Every structure is written in C-alpha cells, then in structure tokens.
C-alpha cells in the first residue's frame, strides 16, 4: 500500500539499491525526469528525494543531482553475549529500581520512555472521537462490557490480522487492559510457580517483572544482531530442560529493533507444534515498520493454536489508551478464567473509541504519519550518536519500533557514565535492566519517540566527547 504519493518512485529506487541494480555512486534520474515519468508534482518529487536523503541511501550533490550513497560497510559486532543454557532463579528487585525512577526535572530530555510523546499522539483526533462516543453511547459506556471485550472490536482485530495473513478466531480473542496484562494472562494460564520458561535476551524489563512476579525460572536465549532470536540455542536448551513456554518478540524487538525473518518464525511455530510448547508472541511493535509491508507474525504459521500472540494500541496511539488483546489459541478456557480474576471489564470508552477509529480507517491514516515520523527521528538520532560518540561505540540500526541499542567500550565506568548523563539532563535506560544476568552492563537503550532538537543534539555531543576523553585517558595510562 502506498502511503505517500512520492513512494511510487522512492520504493522503486530503494528496491533497486537493495537488489544491487543501482550501485554506490550511480546517478539517479533528475526531478524533471521523475516528475514526467510518474506524473507527480515538483514538490512531491522533491519530498521523495528528501526522504531518500534522510534515510541515507541517496545523497544530493549541489549542481550535480542525486546519487546513490557511497556506503561504508557497517561493522556489526559478532560478540553478542552468550549464555550457558542454565536455569536462573529470577531476582529482579534491584534492577526494577533502575527502571522506576521518574524524571526529576521538566528540563530533562528523556530517551528512556518507549511510548508516543505529544509529537506523535493524535490528540485532536482522539478527543474528538471520544466526544462522539460519549454523545452516541451515553450511559451505556458506564456499565460493564463483556468480560472478553466487545464482540465488534474482537471482530475488527481478527479482520486486521487476516489482512496480514494471520487467521485469528475472534472467539479466541480476549481484550485486555494493555499488553502487559495480556502477557500476564498468557503466562499465568500455562505455567505454575517454579516452571522453566525460555525468554529472549536482552528482554524488556516489564516482561522480566511479570516473570519474576509469577515466580518462574528462566533460560535466556540470546538475540543475535545479524540473525535475531537464536533458534539453535533454543533447541539446545529444549533438549536439556523441561521448558514450559517461550516468550519472544517477533517484530522490532525491544531494545534492539531487530526483525525476525519469516524462516525463523516458521521454525518457531514448528518447534511449538512438535514439542507441544506454547509460544507467547509479543507483536506490540508490528505496525511500526519503516520499510515495505507489515511483517508477518509467528501466529501466521501456527496451525494448531500453540502460539499466543498479544499486542496493544498504547504504543501506536497513546500511552493512556490502556487497551490490548490476547489471541489465546488453544488456551482460551484457562486464559478466560485468569482474565476474569483480574477484573470484570476493560474500559468501555476505550473499546468504543477503537471501534470508531478502526471502522473509519482513522487509525491507519494516523499510523502512516506515525511510522514516517518515527523513522525520521530514528535516522536523525542514530546519525547524531554515530557522529559524536567514539568509533569504538556501537549503535544498532533498528528496522522499526522505538529503540536503538547502544554499547560502550569496557574502559568506560558505566555508573559514572549515567551520572554524567544525568548532569546533562539526559536519560537513557541502563542495559542491566534487560536481563537477569550482567551480560549487558555496557549497553544502554535510546528511545526516539520525541523530536530531536538542537538542544538534545548539543547534549549528546557533550556526552560523546566525555566518552572519548575517557578512552583517551585510558590510552595515555597505558603508554
């Protein structure tokens, strides 16, 4: 689906660069040539080329035209932390404190909150639709709704999934109070205290908190930069342990932004079926892709209901819209009981709001702007980090979602680094919070949910220069 007029030619250029048809340094058609070929306005063609320049695949040479960027091969590290496939008794109390600190000053620039900011939230649209819902539904939204959620909303969610090739039975859907509740219901319905589960690593700390509260034991499965979720590692762990469930993010993993390939998704679905082990799939970022079409889910390849997929509208619409869903597969009865014990009904006004937005395609129109703005902010922030931090640092380019995963050299004292960031009123999320181990002590997550301002760029430059000065001091000490 074409989201913007200029994509009729930018998508062709991107595909030709990807497939090697257009090579580094090759001259591209002029604005006039593109305009005539695709019947576009000069403004649309210029906007399209500006977009390609922003993405870094095209460069504009003054008085010469547009050319395919001469790219330097990105040096992706091979040394992703490896774990012994052993069971860990989870203890997350100390690390939770790192994630629960609130911003102390309105002057602080937050790169640590993975949620839409005022820049991305369609405030006028949401408030207008809420007012329409109140006028239309009146007192009915003050009463209980069905425990599993509105039938209309469940049908809409199932229909959207079908468009992406995922056949979901709306009768097996449960509307939840956000994605975290969906995860809790999924895990609680198939595990008991002391059970062993496999979970991706690094893993978002909110998921680790749920696991800790359910008193489960964990085997961490590494997410590789180049290949994503480590299937071979999982197979080895399955052969040696009684694993009761697997928790994985298939699309735009938080914090790395990695997209699992369809081949891996198929293999995970096959593992679930052959071993009769449920997979709980987090697809909360699936709609936030930067290129092409919406990616598939593991659920797309599940034929017997072993995959439980969950998502939410909080990350794509507004953080205050606490409305998620869980596709329970073959575990509906257990999940339904857990859901009922957590509360009779999810907010009726939020359910009716989403029904209205989905029915009128307002949500999809919003997503088109949302994705483009996220990608712009991602590229700008990534370029800033790579420009001002030493080359010994690594920042992984995400394929969608909200986050950039960074790593500093081991010469850097990380507690001192975070204190310096705090002095500059910059907030990152420490890598330690993404694992029960200490594997990510030198990593940190950077969120690009807000506009990148000249002030934030200056502060990031100062922090990057500080890291460089630390490395220079270490070199001088060794001379």
Span 35-62, average pLDDT: 88
pLDDT of res. 378:
93
Q: Does pLDDT of 304 surpass 50?
A: yes
**Interatomic CA distance for residues 279 and 269, integer angstroms:** 8
Span 130-138, average pLDDT: 93
Q: How confident is the model at residue 79 (pLDDT cuts 50, 70, 90)?
A: low
Average pLDDT, the chain: 89
pLDDT of res. 95:
55
User: Could you read off the pLDDT of 448-461 as tens digits, one per residue?
Assistant: 998 888 999 999 99
β-bridge pairing 324-327 and 307-312 = antiparallel
Span 225-230, average pLDDT: 90
223 strand-pairing partners: 229
pLDDT of res. 475:
78
Let me know: does 179 contact 319? Beta carbons within 8 Å: no
pLDDT of res. 227:
86
- φ and ψ of 70, to 5 deg: -80, 105
Q: Is the dihedral of CA 57, 61, 67, 68 positive or negative?
A: negative
Higher pLDDT, 370 or 4: 370
Tell me the DSSP string of 288-333. Answer: -BSSSSPP--GGGG-SSS-EEEEEESTTTT-TT---EEEE-GGGHH
Let me know: does 54 contact 206? Beta carbons within 8 Å: no
Strand, coil or helix: 65: strand
User: How far separated are the first and last CA of the chain, in Å rounded?
Assistant: 59
User: Could you read off the pLDDT of 170-207 as tens digits, one per residue?
Assistant: 999 999 999 999 999 999 999 999 999 999 999 999 99
Q: Does pLDDT of 377 surpass 80?
A: yes
Q: Which two tokens mark 231?
A: 């299937």
How many Cβ atoms from other residues are within 10 Å of residue 47's Cβ? 15
Which domains, ranges and CATH numbers included, belong to the chain?
7-68 (1.10.10.10), 92-118+367-477 (3.90.1150.10), 123-364 (3.40.640.10)
pLDDT of res. 74:
63
**Interatomic CA distance for residues 245 and 416, integer angstroms:** 38
Q: How confident is the model at residue 104 (pLDDT cuts 50, 70, 90)?
A: very low
Helices (H), 224-311: 231-240, 262-275
pTM, rounded to two decimals: 0.87
pLDDT of res. 102:
44
- The phi-psi region of residue 246 (left if phi > 0; otherwise alpha if psi is between -120 and 50; otherwise beta) is beta
Let me know: does 390 contact 464? Beta carbons within 8 Å: yes
**Interatomic CA distance for residues 308 and 331, integer angstroms:** 8
**Interatomic CA distance for residues 292 and 15, integer angstroms:** 10
User: Could you read off the pLDDT of 285-295 as tens digits, one per residue?
Assistant: 999 999 888 99
% pLDDT > 70, the chain: 91
Under DSSP, the state recorded for 27 is B
């Amino acid at each position: 689906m074409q989201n913007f007029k200029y994509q009729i030619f930018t998508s062709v250029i991107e595909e030709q660069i990807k497939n090697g048809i257009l090579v580094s340094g090759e001259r591209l058609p002029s604005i006039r040539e593109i305009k005539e070929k695709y019947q576009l306005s000069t403004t649309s063609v210029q906007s399209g080329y500006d977009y390609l320049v922003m993405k870094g695949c095209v460069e504009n040479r003054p008085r010469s035209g547009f050319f395919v960027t001469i790219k330097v091969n990105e040096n992706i590290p091979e040394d992703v932390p490896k774990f012994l496939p052993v069971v860990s008794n989870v203890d997350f109390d100390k690390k939770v404190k790192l994630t629960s600190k609130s911003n102390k000053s309105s002057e602080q620039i937050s790169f640590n909150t993975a949620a839409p900011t005022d820049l991305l939230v369609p405030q006028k649209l949401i408030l207008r639709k809420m007012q329409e819902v109140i006028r239309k539904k009146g007192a009915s939204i003050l009463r209980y709704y069905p425990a599993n959620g509105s039938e209309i909303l469940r049908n809409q969610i199932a229909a959207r999934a079908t468009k992406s090739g995922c056949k979901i039975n709306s009768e097996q859907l449960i509307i939840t109070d956000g994605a975290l509740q969906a995860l809790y219901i999924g895990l609680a319905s198939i595990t008991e205290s002391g059970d062993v589960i496999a979970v991706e690593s690094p893993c978002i700390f909110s998921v680790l908190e749920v696991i800790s509260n359910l008193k489960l034991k964990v085997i961490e499965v590494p997410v590789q930069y180049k290949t994503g979720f480590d299937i071979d590692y999982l197979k080895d762990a399955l052969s040696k342990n009684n694993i009761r469930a697997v928790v994985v993010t298939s699309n735009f993993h938080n914090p790395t932004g990695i997209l699992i390939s369809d081949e891996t998704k198929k293999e995970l679905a096959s593992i679930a079926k052959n071993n009769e082990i449920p997979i709980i799939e987090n697809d909360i970022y699936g709609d936030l892709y930067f290129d092409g079409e919406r990616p598939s889910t593991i659920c797309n390849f599940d034929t017997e209901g072993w995959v439980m997929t969950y998502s939410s509208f909080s990350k794509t619409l507004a953080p205050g819209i606490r409305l998620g869903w869980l596709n329970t597969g073959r575990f509906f009865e257990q999940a339904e009981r857990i859901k009922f014990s957590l509360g009779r009904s999810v907010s009726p006004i939020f359910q009716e709001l989403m029904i209205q937005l989905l029915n009128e395609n307002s949500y999809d129109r919003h997503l088109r702007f949302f994705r483009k703005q996220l990608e712009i902010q991602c590229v700008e922030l990534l370029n800033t980090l790579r420009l001002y931090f030493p080359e010994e640092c690594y920042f992984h380019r995400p394929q969608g979602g909200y986050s950039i995963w960074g790593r500093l050299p081991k010469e850097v004292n990380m507690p001192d680094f975070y204190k310096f960031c705090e002095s500059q009123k910059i907030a990152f999320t420490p890598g330690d919070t993404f694992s029960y181990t200490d594997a990510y002590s030198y990593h940190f997550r950077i969120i690009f949910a807000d506009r990148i301002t000249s002030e934030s760029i200056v502060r990031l430059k100062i922090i990057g220069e500080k890291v460089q000065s630390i490395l220079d001091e270490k070199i001088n000490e060794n001379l």
